[in-house]
């Protein structure tokens, strides 16, 4: 999962802040007492005290942005999403049998979804630390999704809510539209919708230097 560079990716020696320009230009609000809204048949809020009842996990994994950059061996801490789902979300949200997707909604308006079997797979975390420190604002404070098998855009930062859905939530309302593939598996190079991944590999690699420069500029301005 970590240590190996997937096809068409370029390893960086730093970990940039990345996102859709509109989202990047927003500083997501981080509340003093964060809570995580869970929307199923019942809607509720999970508190830090609730999460403290779930065993913590540490993980080292690679992080792969569809724009063709990777950061290998990123050290995360938090909770396995499967544990959070089984121990907190299911009892609270009382999901119907037809739940097939989890929609991850961020405080900056961004969202992404994963099929339940991907969301509950090994290696998917609700992370609140990076390199042993509280998750910094640039990487998604107070907590984010980490899904190393899927491209960066499934790794939703500033996570505010998890919605339990029967159908795949359309990404065309702030989730990146065509840029967001339903599964976004790195292994299958599902970088975006419509064209084969290898086409995006070359298009995105060409756009990468300018994209990283722009992201750096916006980040310095927004997080100053």
Ligand X SMILES: Nc1nc2c(c(=O)[nH]1)N[C@H]1C(S)=C(S)[C@@H](COP(=O)(O)O)O[C@H]1N2
Minimum CB separation of residue 132 from ligand X in Å reads: 16
Minimum CB separation of residue 23 from ligand X in Å reads: 3
Distance (Å, whole) CA 140 – CA 150: 17
Return the closest-CA partner of residue 34 out of 107, 133, 83.
Answer: 107
Q: Which stretch binds Mo ion (CB under 5 A): 10-18, 33-41, 83-91, 136-144?
A: 10-18
Q: Which DSSP string corresponds to 177-200?
A: GGG--SS-BTTTT--SSSS-HHHH
Instruction: By CB under 5 A, name the one of 38, 51, 54, 65 that touches Mo ion.
Output: 65
Residue 158: which of Mo ion, ligand X, none does it interact with, CB under 5 to 8 A by kind?
ligand X
Q: Please tell me whether residue 147 binds Mo ion under the rule CB under 5 A.
A: no
Distance (Å, whole) CA 8 – CA 201: 6
Residue 174: which of ligand X, Mo ion, none does it interact with, CB under 5 to 8 A by kind?
none
Q: Which residues are at the interface with ligand X (CB under 6 A)?
A: 15-20, 23-24, 65, 106, 108, 110, 139-140, 152-153, 155-158
Distance (Å, whole) CA 83 – CA 125: 9
């Amino acid at each position: 999962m970590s240590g190996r560079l997937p096809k068409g990716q370029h390893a960086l020696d730093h970990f940039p802040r990345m996102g859709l320009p509109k989202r990047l230009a927003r500083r997501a609000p981080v509340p003093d007492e964060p809570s995580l809204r869970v929307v199923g048949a019942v809607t509720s809020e999970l508190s830090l005290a609730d999460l403290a009842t779930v065993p913590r996990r540490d993980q080292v994994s690679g992080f792969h942005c569809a724009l063709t950059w990777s950061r290998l061996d990123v050290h995360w801490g938090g909770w396995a999403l499967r544990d959070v789902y089984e121990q907190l979300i299911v009892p609270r949200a009382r999901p119907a049998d037809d739940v097939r997707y989890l929609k991850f909604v961020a405080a900056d308006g961004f969202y992404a979804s994963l099929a339940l079997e991907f969301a509950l797979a090994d290696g998917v975390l609700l992370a609140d630390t990076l390199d042993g420190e509280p998750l910094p604002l640039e990487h998604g404070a107070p907590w984010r999704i980490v899904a190393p098998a899927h491209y960066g855009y499934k790794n939703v930062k500033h996570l505010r809510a998890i919605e339990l859905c029967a159908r795949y939530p359309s990404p065309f309302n702030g989730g990146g539209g065509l840029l967001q593939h339903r599964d976004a598996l790195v292994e299958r190079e599902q970088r975006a919708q419509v064209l084969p991944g290898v086409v995006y590999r070359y298009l995105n690699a060409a756009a990468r230097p300018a994209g990283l420069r722009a992201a750096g500029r916006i980040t310095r301005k927004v997080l100053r």
